[in-house]
Amino acid sequence: MFETPVLSLRRDRKHRPDSPDSSHEFYVIESVNWVNVIPLTEDDEVVFIEQYRHGIDRVTLEVPGGMIDPDDASPMVAAAREMREETGYSSDELVELGVVHPNPALQENRCFSFLAKNATLAGELRPDDTEDIEVVRYPRRDVPGLLHDGKISHALVVAAFLWWFQYEETI
């Protein structure tokens, strides 16, 4: 087992059900569950964050999100906390949109996506020490173009918008 403050890596040995004599090693990344939240203002704007991402060495356009902390009573509580910390916005109406497995070939965790209706600015940002965040807003009508043009490239954020678009079709 290899452990870091963010994740652990474990090695499993598994036998195929149809071939008990053959076994293979698999590596699994253990991580806590995550959340993403799409803050939508009364002015029909989506509140985004621009944030430096070390893995790709560039700034990305995302919605607020992060790890579900042990103190969070639920994914929805974590989503509200992350939105408040990363954008300064809050909402009294969070809707769970859907859940995905970020990469089931390698990871065991899940990512919960939420929509925060009527999000309003409630205070200052409170980012973590390692976060360098700028808050930006785009009209809702611009989101499909931001996705199409690759300006939003974080796979879990793309998944959150897919859930949101499906949600809007049902209301």
CATH of the domain at 154: 3.90.79.10
pLDDT confidence of residue 141:
97
pLDDT at 7 over 90: no
64 in the same domain as 145? yes
Could you tell me which residue, 84 or 130, shows the higher pLDDT?
84
Kindly report, residue by residue over 123-157, the tens digit of the pLDDT: 988 877 888 899 999 999 999 999 999 999 999 99
Kindly report, residue by residue over 17-68, the tens digit of the pLDDT: 787 788 889 899 899 999 999 999 999 999 999 999 999 999 999 999 999 9
Beta partners for residue 45, in sequence order: 139
101 in the same domain as 72? yes
4 in the same domain as 69? no
36 in the same domain as 26? no
Q: How many CB atoms lie within 10 A of CB 23?
A: 12
Query: Left if phi > 0, otherwise alpha if psi is -120 to 50, otherwise beta: which for 159?
Result: alpha
| Owning domain of residue 128 | 32-170
**Which phi and psi (to 5°) does residue 82 adopt?**
-60, -40
41 in the same domain as 21? no
Distances in whole angstroms, Cα of residue 84 to Cα of each of 15, 74, 103, 158: 46, 16, 27, 21
56 in the same domain as 12? no
Q: pTM here?
A: 0.91
pLDDT confidence of residue 171:
75
With b for 16 or more beta-carbon neighbours within 10 A and e for fewer, the 131-159 pattern comes to eebebeebeeeebeebbeeeebbbebbeb
42 in the same domain as 9? no
- The answer for residues whose C-beta is within 8 angstroms of residue 27's C-beta and 6 or more apart is 9, 10, 11, 12, 106
62 in the same domain as 13? no
79 in the same domain as 19? no
Q: How many domains does the chain have?
A: 2
59 in the same domain as 22? no
pLDDT at 118 over 90: yes
Rounded CA-CA distance 102/93 in Å is 25
155 in the same domain as 86? yes
138 in the same domain as 67? yes
Rg value, the chain, Cα: 18
pLDDT at 110 over 90: yes
